[in-house]
Amino acid sequence: MKTTIFLVVLAVLSANTALVPNPAVPRQVASRTNLIIGHIGPYDRLYYRTYLNQAPLPNAVQTQDVVFRGTTYNNITAVYALEVGYTQYAQAWILSGGIGRNNVTVRAQSARGYGFYYQVEVWGR
Ligand SMILES: *[C@@H]1O[C@H](CO)[C@@H](O)[C@H](O)[C@H]1NC(C)=O
Ligand SMILES: *[C@@H]1O[C@H](CO)[C@@H](O)[C@H](O)[C@H]1NC(C)=O
């Protein structure tokens, strides 16, 4: 399987330019501030796992995107972004792609003055 993975865009944003989750993108938020979309079936496998980790910065909102691009044979069934350790009140959501696609872009965004530490997993069949 040939996959290309890009870690992109770390931006520190000021108060008025803070990005908010796009309400048009369906998402399911479980406990804490985790992103849990879809579910992992018995024949699914882990396409990709990575960590998005930023230390707190005073008075700053930080964002980081991760892009997974699979092959035409990949079919994503679950996308997780799970906070590691204590909660830092961050958020994670899908910017594009996702379930039924072969690619997905996940964005993590810190609360102001906090960092984030997410384990991101993309599963599929
Ligand atoms: C992905 O899987 C779903 C569920 O099995 C299926 O309905 C869909 O057609 C698949 N998409 C592709 C591109 O294979
Ligand atoms: C993501 O996959 C869909 C098909 O599943 C494709 O139409 C789209 O162009 C892909 N986007 C990127 C950025 O690769």
Nearest ligand 2 atom to the CA of 69 is: 14
75 lines ligand 1 (CB under 6 A): yes
Tens digits of residue pLDDT in 64-108: 999 999 999 999 999 999 999 999 999 999 999 999 999 999 999
Counting ligand 2 atoms within 8 A of each CB, the residue from 71, 96, 102, 122 with the most, and so the one to mutate, is 102
Put simply, whether the predicted model's pTM sits higher than 0.75 gets the answer yes
Per-residue pLDDT at 118: 98
Rounded distance, CA 60 to CA 119, Å? Answer: 22
Tens digits of residue pLDDT in 16-47: 344 444 444 444 444 468 999 999 999 999 99
CA dist 125 → 9, 29, 46, 99 (Å): 28, 23, 9, 11
Nearest CA to ligand 1 atom 2: 100
- Which residues, 6 or more positions from 7, have their beta carbon under 8 angstroms from its beta carbon? 50, 64, 66, 67
Tens digits of residue pLDDT in 115-124: 999 999 999 9
41 lines ligand 1 (CB under 6 A): no
